Each structure stands twice: as C-alpha cells, then as structure tokens.
With several copies, the nearest count.
Chain A
Amino acid sequence: MSTSDLSVKVGELTFANPIMPASGTFSEDLSDVFDLDVLGAHVLKTIMHGKRAGNPTPRVCDLQGGMLNAIGIPSKGIDDFRDRMLPYWSDYKAPLVVSISAHSMDEFARLAAEVSLPGVAAIEANISCPNIEADGNAFAMRPDTTAEVMRRLRAETDLPLWAKLTPNTGEPVAVALAAEAEGADAIVTANTALGMSIDVRTRQPRLGNVMGGMSGPAVKPIALRMTYQCAHACRVPVIGCGGIATLDDVLEFLIAGAAAVQVGTATFQSPTVMARLIAELSDWMQAQGVTSLGEIIGSVQIPGGEAA
C-alpha cells in the first residue's frame, strides 16, 4: 500500500508533514508521551536574551472553548539555549524553529544573530506576544514597527525568518505585507487574542496579569480569517495557527491557504493530538485519493471568484 505524501514546503524548507507545535505549548517534556520526531517541525517556546521570571500567577484560566494565558516569557536566556536546548533538539531529525522576542529592536536584532547557529532551521520572530507589553502592545500591531523590526532581523540572519502576527491589530494584511517586504520568508497567523476574565465571586481577574492571550477553538474563526487574508495578499507562505484541534480544522486552514499549521492549546487537552492529526491526515488523503497536499492548500472556492 502506497502511503500518501504529507510533505510540505515552507519557503526553502521541506517538512515531512504540515503539523508542528505552536510556540509556548511544546517542550522536550512532551517526549514523555510520544516520539517527537513524527512532527513536521519543532517550534520552541519564545526565548529572550536574558533571564526573566515571567508573569505573576495564576497564569492561565479556562474559558468556554478555550483558555487565557499570561505566562509572559520566562526565559533562561541565550546561554541556556545554546548550551542545553540546542544540543538536545539536534538529536532529532525534525527541523528546529527557534522563536525569539525582545523589548527593543536592538536586543531583538542581537538575539537573531545569536540564535543563528547550526542546527537551527528557521527563526520565528514573535513580534506579537500580548503578554510582554502593557495592554497587548507588540511590534506586529502596526505595519511601520513590523517593517522596522523585520528589517533589523533580516540584516542579522541568513536563516529563514518567520513573522508571527497578532489578531489584535486592526490591519493584519498591511502588517503581513510589511513583514514580507522586509524579508520575512513566512507569515504565521496568529498569536493569541487579548482577553480578560473575572471571577465573579472574588471580583478579581482570573489572571495575575489581569489581561492575557486567548487561544483554543474560540479563536479559530479569527485566525482562519487572518490566514485567508494573508495567504491571498502575500507571496510568501502562511502558516496557520489558532484553535486547531481536529483533522477538519487542519484541512480548513490548508484550504484557506496555509502551507502548514501549528497546534497549541489542543495539546493541553490531548497531548497526543499532533501525532493523531498526522495519522488522520494520512488516512484521509488515502481515502480521498489525494496524493499531495498541494491539491488542498489554497483550494478554497470563493463564490463568484474573489472575496470582496
């Protein structure tokens, strides 16, 4: 029996399949549960240059159809990455994507240079974390700051560079185009949506940090919309992310135009979900007679041609 070809190309990189974890929802600890080499790629939790503690607890709370988090970016810093994490991940075949972030353009650029090491396949620029600056501010909120930070990063690394967008901006397409213009090799749509939840008994916010990022199935329609918008506006590939939990979700993002997908919160509900999605996608392709994912990606049928 011939097995289907699940491989996808994201720019210059080829992944054995389109399923990879979303930054911050994955670590070596998941190898307790299944062989991480089945994944299309490994995307690490965002690192920042120095050591950081992250936000006050409680850092998570659950919602109808999703969760809020305000983890912040607790980081052991660049040294820990180079000396401990990189060697660990180098033992896997799956390509390694390193997510980085910083408060300032200078620090961001320096970090991009520092993580451009053998064994790193791509850099994901987390220009969209709602938990670093007050009120969800981030470089990816505006095209101009996006352009500037991407230009600085591009100058520092020859590795494929991905820009991770935020659903909190009012101009996602302009932000994506700004990132592309300044050399982004892929766009990731998207990070978490800024939200809040209050415990009505204590009248306190349910997160120590008051506001936090919403993820899970509840944000899927927003992330899918951004994926569709960006895939139609950009020449570079788009990687879908937000609320993906089932095979239908994966297909929905691929059909909307995603070249690959990232799975985050679903792993918290079911740590085996990514391995299962790969198996289910393969079975589905075989059952449908789909030989390559190129037949699926971007195949959305818009009534009367393009959307308004």
Chain B
Amino acid sequence: MTLIPSILSVPPSPGVTARCAEARAIVLSNMPVNGEYRLLTLDAPAEVLDCAPGQFFQLLCPVPEGEHPFLRRPMSIYGYDAHAEQLQFLYKIAGAGTRGLATLRAGDTLNVLGPLGQGFTMPDAWQNLMLVARGVGLATLAPLARMAQQQGRSLTAICSARSPELAMSVDLFRSYGAEVIVVHDEDGSSEVPALEALIEARIAAGSVDAFYTCGSRRLLTMLQRLGQKHGIPGEIAMEQQMACGLGMCQACVRPFREGNEVVHRRVCREGPVFPISEAIA
C-alpha cells in the first residue's frame, strides 16, 4: 500500500444513498482460527453495514515488512451486524496483502471499501437449500446461513475439507439451524463421485430446491451436471483478480453463458454471485 488516504467526507450523489463507502474501521480482534485461517473483527461505521450475504469489501491492506501490496484485496463478508457496528472477514494468508492483514492488532485502523457487488438471492420457491463449499469458500457462504434462518428456509451445508478438523464454519452453520455434513479428503468423502452420490440421494429424497456454492471448478461442474439433470437452480460466488472493485476498470471479467452466447461479466459488479447455470468453470 502506498497511499493511506485520510478519508474526508465527500459529497454523496444527489438523491441517492451511497451504495457503498470508503470508511475507516477499527480492529477489534484478529485471531487465528483453525491454523490456516484468521478471523478479523472490525468496528465499522453504519454507512458500510447495509450488507447482503455474498457481497464483499475491498480492503486496503497494511504493508508487511519488505512487501508492497498496492491494490486493495477483495474479501467476502463473513459476518456483519449493523446494530453492533461490527464487520467480520475470514481469510487465509496467501501473499503480501493477507500477510499485511495478519499484522493488524486490536486498535489499529483499516480502510475498507464496501459493501460491493450483488449478494445471493433467495426466491420464495427455494425452500430447501443445499450449500456445498470448501476452504475459504465456506467463509463466503457463512452469512447465507443466517439469511436462510431468518427467511425460514431449511438448509443443508456440505462442508468439504482436507481433514475433519479443518472444516470451516461448522459450528456457525449449526447455530443458524443448518444440517451440517462434513466431507473430507482423508476418507475420500470429498471426492466428486462420493459427493455426487450423496447429493443425488438427497435430491431423490426430494429435499433440494436450490444449490449455493463458491469458487471451486470441480464443485461447479458437478453442481451444473446435477442441476441440469434435475432442474435444480442455484448460485455461485466467483473470484477474479480485481483493481477497482466497483465496476470501473474491467479487470475482473469472467465469461458466462447467456443463451447461446458467451458474454463477459464483471465479478465485482454483476457478481460475485452468479447463476450456477451460466457460470463457466
């Protein structure tokens, strides 16, 4: 990071409540979870807390010693609470930016930009929801569990991980009333054939109206196959390298199927959540 702006109040667009804002948040805690992940809890102003599950923020990461993250880093909203003015991110240390995030201590400030993008939808027809994800993807899907509970839907969360202990957000999902199934690499239950059989059984039992997933190509291809076969719709949160996060720069495009055409859509603006049927793995 090379410019740490001091945020002055800037004029909002006339007659429009700003959809997102650049704000200074205060770190409440930043703790390791599960060895590989960290949970960052921020005290954030109300103006950035009108969030929807599946939306994300662009974080201006602190500069770790000897490294120079320059662009902001996109992070899904893991938790938000407008009342308590709290905002949470669950992240995995990957490179310079996330190493910078890991240096944050309680009391530090962090410049955040958000909420950004289009979150998950939950049409009335989708009463029985199935969520399938792995790794950090489970962070992105976490707020969906609360949304499902609030809207009175039934949710099954299939959490995939290398080993049972590394499965993320299991307790969180349960606390929102979801049924949790952990699959993992050690017993092979996370492999596509096993997983597909598991889901087929659920579908046969008549309990899946829609899928939610995230990131992984393997899972996407499988869910597209199942979705097409059984006419089950669903949504996926996707990732792409970003610069602006707002829709201005066209950095973050991915190809999507639109009828017979392939079109580019911006992950930051039209996404990060897209219909599973239109995504291209």
- Chain A residues within CB distance 8 Å of chain B: 24-27, 29-38, 45, 53-54, 57-67, 69, 71, 74, 216-217, 245-246, 266-273, 275-276, 279-280
Residues 1-37 of B, flagged 1 when their CB comes within 8 A of A and 0 if not, give 1110101101111101011111000000000000000
Q: Please give me the residue from chain A that is nearest to B266 by CB atom.
A: A29
Which residues from A are CB-within-8-Å of B240? 57-58
Partner of A269 from the list B10, B60, B242 (CB cut-off 8 Å) is B60
Sample of 22 A–B contacts (CB below 8 Å): A24-B250, A30-B246, A33-B10, A33-B18, A34-B11, A37-B14, A38-B10, A45-B248, A53-B264, A57-B240, A62-B71, A63-B70, A65-B2, A71-B251, A74-B253, A74-B264, A245-B2, A246-B3, A268-B71, A269-B5, A269-B60, A269-B70
Query: Is the beta-carbon distance between B11 and A38 smaller than 8 angstroms?
Result: yes
Please judge, given known A-B contacts A27-B247, A32-B18, whether A245 and B3 are in contact too, CB under 8 Å. yes
Please judge, given known A-B contacts A268-B243, A269-B60, A271-B246, whether A34 and B12 are in contact too, CB under 8 Å. yes
Report the interface size for chain B: residues with CB under 8 A from the other chain.
43
Partner of B10 from the list A27, A66, A275 (CB cut-off 8 Å) is A275
Assembly CA distance A66 to B111 (angstroms) = 18
Query: Is the beta-carbon distance between A57 and B253 smaller than 8 angstroms?
Result: yes
Query: Is the beta-carbon distance between A64 and B70 smaller than 8 angstroms?
Result: yes
Query: Is the beta-carbon distance between A60 and B242 smaller than 8 angstroms?
Result: yes
Query: Is the beta-carbon distance between A65 and B68 smaller than 8 angstroms?
Result: yes
Query: Is the beta-carbon distance between B18 and A34 smaller than 8 angstroms?
Result: yes
Query: Is the beta-carbon distance between A36 and B243 smaller than 8 angstroms?
Result: no
Assembly CA distance A34 to B23 (angstroms) = 13
Which 8 A-B pairs give the minimum distances between C-beta atoms?
A29-B247, A275-B10, A62-B70, A270-B5, A32-B19, A64-B68, A34-B10, A58-B241
Partner of B246 from the list A33, A57, A66, A245 (CB cut-off 8 Å) is A33
Which residues from A are CB-within-8-Å of B10? 33-35, 38, 272, 275-276, 279
Which residues from A are CB-within-8-Å of B248? 25-27, 29-30, 45, 267
Cβ of A187 to closest chain B Cβ, rounded Å:
24
Assembly CA distance A35 to B17 (angstroms) = 11
Please judge, given known A-B contacts A58-B241, A61-B241, whether A29 and B71 are in contact too, CB under 8 Å. no
Query: Is the beta-carbon distance between B22 and A33 smaller than 8 angstroms?
Result: yes
Cβ of A44 to closest chain B Cβ, rounded Å:
11
Which residues from B are CB-within-8-Å of A61? 241
Partner of A69 from the list B21, B60, B251 (CB cut-off 8 Å) is B251
Residues 215-257 of B, flagged 1 when their CB comes within 8 A of A and 0 if not, give 0000000000000000000000000111111111111111000
Assembly CA distance A60 to B73 (angstroms) = 13
Query: Is the beta-carbon distance between B241 and A279 smaller than 8 angstroms?
Result: no
Cβ of A76 to closest chain B Cβ, rounded Å:
10
Assembly CA distance A280 to B16 (angstroms) = 24
Assembly CA distance A246 to B11 (angstroms) = 19
Assembly CA distance A83 to B128 (angstroms) = 43
B72 within 8 A of A: yes
Please judge, given known A-B contacts A54-B253, A59-B251, whether A29 and B11 are in contact too, CB under 8 Å. no
Query: Is the beta-carbon distance between B250 and A273 smaller than 8 angstroms?
Result: no
Cβ of A59 to closest chain B Cβ, rounded Å:
5
Assembly CA distance A85 to B264 (angstroms) = 18
Which residues from A are CB-within-8-Å of B64? none
Which residues from A are CB-within-8-Å of B111? 270
Assembly CA distance A24 to B247 (angstroms) = 11
Assembly CA distance A69 to B18 (angstroms) = 28
Which residues from A are CB-within-8-Å of B110? none
